Chains A and B, each alone.
Chain A
């Protein structure tokens, strides 16, 4: 297993914590996570989905919005929120409201619509000798909301997308 691979833990009933390292200075990790053109390159979506909007005003009080369309061209998923704390390149806190639309098809909730889920995400980046450690804490309003996020049906679509991803990575390697 990749020693730098993602660790996921649930230290309380309402939180999910991600930790991972990246072999890059945190200035670049910050840039990749806060620049719309770069976010669109790694925040991929299930096969057939496409980015419909990626807008980010990375300032305290600034809002952001990510929209994806499903294969039929209608809105599949919106993630939007407000930046609460912005301290580049070390700390970013934002709210996240996720809503699935009719375009999500089989990746979406049964019946085609869902209650939006809301959470507060706190990203912390530390750097040591050119390696960045990330800690991301997702705090939900209730245990039920947290469990729903863990069970997200989007996973099914993501699994199907892995093959596409492999192709993308292979193309990236030969192209570089």
Chain B
């Protein structure tokens, strides 16, 4: 449900249908998410519109962490290479 909401605001019936949930079951699920401050619901006419609360920030934090790990791995290889370069550097100069 949260993944579907990541695409934008949706009404509860739209959310429930592909998950094969009844309207009351979906409503209960949303209530739990509301309690966790993950989802915000507003009622417009007969529609219950749900959207993620503060989601862009949470998602961005997750992406940044993945991105960071990916680059950190590269830089750890660079660390090892630099160690090798430092010892090569010291070798010839020590003999001078």
Contacts and interface: CB of A to CB of B under 8 A. Distances in A.
B41 to A, nearest CB: 26
A42 B77 contact: yes
B43 interface: no
Give the size category of A's interface with B.
Answer: 35 or more
Nearest to B56: A147
A79 interface: no
Interface in B8-58: none
Given A10-B64, A28-B85, A18 B71 contact: yes
Given A6-B72, A41-B77, A150 B85 contact: no
A41 B71 contact: no
Contact of A38 (B63, B71, B81, B83): B81
A169 B82 contact: no
Nearest to B80: A172
Interface stretch (A19-27, A62-70, A81-89, A96-104): A19-27
B60 A150 contact: yes
Nearest to B85: A28
A155 B67 contact: yes
Nearest to A16: B67
Given A147-B63, A155-B66, A165-B77, A8 B71 contact: yes
B95 interface: no
Interface string B56-96: 00001001101110111111111111111111010000000
A152 B66 CA distance: 9
9 contacts: A6-B68, A22-B75, A22-B82, A23-B82, A41-B81, A42-B75, A42-B78, A43-B74, A152-B67
